[in-house]
Amino acid sequence: MESENILCVKGIKKSFGGVHALKGVDLTIKRGETHCLAGENGCGKSTIIKVISGFYKPDAGSIEVDGKGYPVMTPAEAIKAGIQVIYQDFSVFPNLSVIENLAFNQVLANKKKFVNKKEFRRIAEEAVKKINFDVDLDARVETLPVADKQLIAISRALLDNAKLIIMDEPTTALTKKEVNRLFEIIADLKKSGVTILFVSHKLDEVFEISDSITILRNGENVISCPTSEMTEEKFAYYMTGRHFDTQVEKKTNPDQIGDVVLEAKNLSAPGFENVSFQLRKGEILGVTGQLGSGRTELSLALFGMLKPTGGQILVDGREVKIGSVTAAQKLGIALVPEDRLTEGLFLPQSIMRNNVVSVLDRLANKLGFLSSRKVEEESEKWVKELGVATKDHMLPVQTLSGGNQQKVVLARWLASEPKVLILNGPTVGVDIGAKYDIHNLLRQLAAQGMAILVVSDDTAEVIATCDRAIVMQAGRVTGNLSEKDLNADTLAQAAL
């Protein structure tokens, strides 16, 4: 008799060097459903996935797949049982063709010593056909967009007769259009009998795609229930253990808005052209648009990282030439970059050093020697003000969760006391609690007179935090929306 549950794990425990990552976690997934596994960074989501897929051996607990128990699950047994994991990096070979990425696994599994091109192509065509994926099979994977790489990973999983596909944060690097396409594929997979474990902390996606939800916190179960029994407020509370509204309430006082601090007049650079806007003291202006709209390039041009080809940039009404990052900083402009890991942080260095790196000159004496006391005081001040969750600011910044790393990037630039703060994707990859904290912080900074530019493709984020927004598409401004016009429909219309 076929089991009602495709997966049932009970009492899973796992420790690393005395740190308890999982403290007796249970997870039951019904056959043919989309089950969401949610929780903040560090809650144990990745660890339980690796236990299920046989990558980690649990210290205690049991695993049952399709009614069959596994005292010790190995990666080979997990694949044979129909479990496939699609990680955030998709585990594709960028230097190989689509055909080779799709066919190699099956050829190796069948222990074939000799294969021909026709056999490779037949396997690849069979794989993409299963999800109606239209792609050039001869293309190198590195030349393809992120969404196509993900679909290659899904197609490959289905070749191995996957019964349960685990998708780890599958929408992190996708546009809204690509997310919709992924959700259509997930719906089709369910119809064909494939079960999906969807790992995410994005509230809107969880409610749209999942049939049931399990939430973990600090390596323990918090709740498992049908999605229909969950509300946004409950979801936020179970994720964080804190009560707060899921939307930041905007309370911009018109008297708070001051003179124009930053202005672009018909500004052009590689990636965009003829962009004009004004940013005033005490307001938050959104710049939004889909991937490739030119929003990121605009932020780089304003920070001296991309050379303008035309137009003007004015600071406090005076035309300026921003030819370098140093020039931007001297004008009081700061940029929190899109990719904090490669552009915003020195990962092996301490939290303290990352906090103070932009103000070292201020913390040094006349001879240029740093004052250890001043450095520590400055760092501790920002850890406290931004609520960075750490036991010791001398720990490497890479030990922090994504949300806390983002707070350190913010601290680094806020320490320089900028008049204009540009944030590119301010809450990409951060938890719901950290997202709420960062949004609230932006409102507080605006109330104190800072001019803020939020560059984001997260519609909900723009609506929640911004007073106005400009919308970009294909390098041009296609919408200029006031607060009363700022909603999901108008943003979508302008972006298209």
Report the pLDDT value the prediction gives residue 432, as an integer from 0 to 100. Answer: 81
Instruction: Tell me: pLDDT of 482 over 80.
Output: yes
439 shares a domain with 395? yes
Which residue range is the domain that position 98 belongs to? 5-240
- What are the structure tokens assigned to 153, written together? 């990973």
Query: What is the average per-residue pLDDT within 136-148?
Result: 89
Report the pLDDT value the prediction gives residue 466, as an integer from 0 to 100. Answer: 94
pLDDT tens per residue across span 74-119: 998 999 999 999 887 678 888 999 999 998 777 665 666 666 788 8
- Greater model confidence, 345 or 343: 345
Q: How far is CA 426 from CA 264, 345, 372, 439, 453, in A?
A: 22, 14, 30, 9, 10
Query: What is the average per-residue pLDDT within 245-249?
Result: 54
Report the pLDDT value the prediction gives residue 107, as an integer from 0 to 100. Answer: 64
Residue 247 within a domain:
no
401 shares a domain with 277? yes
Here the CATH number for the domain that contains residue 290 is: 3.40.50.300
Q: Bridge-partner residues for 233, per DSSP?
A: none
Phi and psi for 275 in degrees, rounded to 5?
-95, 130
274 shares a domain with 192? no
161 shares a domain with 67? yes
435 shares a domain with 349? yes
Which pTM value belongs to this model?
0.71
Q: For the chain, what is the domain count? A: 2
Q: What is the torsion angle, in degrees rounded to the nearest 10, for the CA atoms of residue 108, residue 199, residue 142 and residue 182? A: 100
Report the pLDDT value the prediction gives residue 252, as an integer from 0 to 100. Answer: 62
53 shares a domain with 111? yes
Report the pLDDT value the prediction gives residue 320, as an integer from 0 to 100. Answer: 96
Can you tell me the distance from the alpha carbon of 496 to that of 482, in angstroms, rounded to the nearest whole number?
18
Residue 245 within a domain:
no
Report the pLDDT value the prediction gives residue 176, as an integer from 0 to 100. Answer: 72
286 shares a domain with 193? no
Residue 75 within a domain:
yes
% of the chain surpassing 70 pLDDT: 94
Phi and psi for 56 in degrees, rounded to 5?
-110, 140
Report the pLDDT value the prediction gives residue 90, as an integer from 0 to 100. Answer: 73
Angle at 240 between CA 428 and CA 26, to 5 degrees: 105
User: Where among 186, 218, 240 does a domain terminate?
Assistant: 240
420 shares a domain with 305? yes
pLDDT tens per residue across span 75-84: 989 999 999 9
Point out the least confidently predicted range of 264-273, 276-285, 438-447. 438-447
142 shares a domain with 119? yes
User: Where among 180, 213, 240 does a domain terminate?
Assistant: 240
pLDDT tens per residue across span 164-218: 999 988 887 677 778 888 999 999 999 999 999 999 877 788 899 999 999 999 9
Report the pLDDT value the prediction gives residue 250, as an integer from 0 to 100. Answer: 57
- Three-class DSSP labels, the chain: CCCCEEEEEEEEEEEECCEEEEEEEEEEEECCCEEEEECCCCCCHHHHHHHHCCCCCCCEEEEEECCEEECCCCHHHHHHCCEEEECCCCCCCCCCEHHHHHHHHHHHHCCCCCCCHHHHHHHHHHHHHCCCCCCCCCCEHHHCCHHHHHHHHHHHHHHCCCCEEEEECCCCCCCHHHHHHHHHHHHHHHHCCCEEEEECCCHHHHHHHCCEEEEEECCEEEEEEEHHHCCHHHHHHHHHCCCCCCCCCCCCCHHHCCCEEEEEEEEEECCEEEEEEEEECCCEEEEECCCCCCHHHHHHHHCCCCCCCEEEEEECCEEECCCCHHHHHHCCEEEECCCHHHHHCCCCCEHHHHHHHHHCCCCECCCCCECHHHHHHHHHHHHHHHCCCCCCCCCEHHHCCHHHHHHHHHHHHHCCCCCEEEEECCCCCCCHHHHHHHHHHHHHHHHCCCEEEEECCCHHHHHHHCCEEEEEECCEEEEEECHHHCCHHHHHHHHC
pLDDT tens per residue across span 424-470: 988 877 778 888 888 989 999 999 999 999 999 888 889 989 999 99
Residue 392 within a domain:
yes
Report the pLDDT value the prediction gives residue 245, as an integer from 0 to 100. Answer: 62
Report the pLDDT value the prediction gives residue 493, as an integer from 0 to 100. Answer: 79
Instruction: Tell me: pLDDT of 274 over 60.
Output: yes
Point out the least confidently predicted range of 247-256, 324-333, 472-481. 247-256
- What are the structure tokens assigned to 97, written together? 């063709």
- Greater model confidence, 120 or 28: 28
169 shares a domain with 37? yes
Mean pLDDT score of the chain, rounded to an integer?
88
Instruction: Tell me: pLDDT of 300 over 90.
Output: yes
236 shares a domain with 365? no
Report the pLDDT value the prediction gives residue 249, as an integer from 0 to 100. Answer: 55
Q: Bridge-partner residues for 279, per DSSP?
A: 262
155 shares a domain with 262? no
Residue 248 within a domain:
no
Rg (CA), the chain: 25
- Greater model confidence, 345 or 415: 415
